[in-house]
C-alpha cells in the first residue's frame, strides 16, 4: 500500500480556533474497545467537554452515548467529523457531509490521508485536517 502525502491541510495555527468553535464531534469508526486509539481519543475529547457522537456498525452505546450507523442518521448538529476509518471511506464521509450542510471541520486521524476527498470538503468551505491526532493537537494547545 502506497502512503499518500497530505496536500490539503488546514494550517496548524488554526487548530486552537477549530477546537474553540467545535462543540459536537461525530466519530466514524469509534470502537467500543477501550484499547483502540479511536476509543481513547474520543474519551479524551469527551472529558474535555465535547459532545461525542459514535458512528459504528454495532453496539447501542459507546462512552455512554447513543451509537449511530451513519452520519445520515444523526439528527443533531455536528460541528466536526473526526474519522478513524480507512482513507477510502473519506469519500463517502464527504458525500454525507455535503448532504448535511452543518459540518465545519473534517479531521482525518493520524495515518489517514485522502487528498481527493479533502479537496472536495475544502471546496465546500470545510476546514480539513489530515494525518494528525485530535488528542495530541488538543493537548499540545491546551495542556
- pLDDT tens track of the chain, all 143 residues? 456 888 889 999 999 999 999 999 999 999 999 999 999 999 999 999 999 999 999 999 999 999 999 999 999 999 999 999 999 999 999 999 999 999 999 999 999 999 999 999 999 999 999 999 999 999 999 98
Return the closest-CA partner of residue 64 out of 77, 51, 82, 79.
51
Q: What pTM was estimated for this model as a whole?
A: 0.95
Q: Catalogue all structural domains in the chain, each as residue range(s) with its CATH number.
A: 12-142 (3.40.50.720)
**Residue 142 to residue 19: CA distance in whole angstroms:** 10
CA distances from 94 to 34, 52, 59 (A): 27, 19, 24
Amino acid at each position: 500500500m502506497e502512503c499518500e502525502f497530505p496536500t490539503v491541510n488546514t494550517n496548524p495555527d488554526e487548530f486552537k480556533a477549530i477546537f474553540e468553535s467545535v462543540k459536537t464531534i461525530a466519530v466514524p469508526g469509534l470502537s467500543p474497545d477501550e484499547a483502540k486509539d479511536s476509543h481513547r481519543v474520543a474519551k479524551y475529547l469527551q472529558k474535555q467537554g465535547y459532545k461525542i457522537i459514535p458512528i459504528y456498525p454495532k453496539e447501542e452505546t459507546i462512552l455512554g452515548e447513543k451509537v449511530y450507523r451513519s452520519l445520515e442518521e444523526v439528527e443533531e448538529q455536528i460541528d466536526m467529523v473526526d474519522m478513524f476509518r480507512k482513507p477510502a471511506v473519506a469519500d463517502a464521509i464527504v458525500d454525507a457531509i455535503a448532504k448535511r450542510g452543518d459540518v465545519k471541520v473534517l479531521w482525518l486521524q493520524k495515518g489517514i490521508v485522502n487528498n481527493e476527498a479533502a479537496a472536495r470538503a475544502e471546496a465546500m468551505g470545510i476546514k480539513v485536517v489530515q494525518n494528525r491526532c485530535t488528542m495530541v493537537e488538543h493537548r499540545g494547545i491546551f495542556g
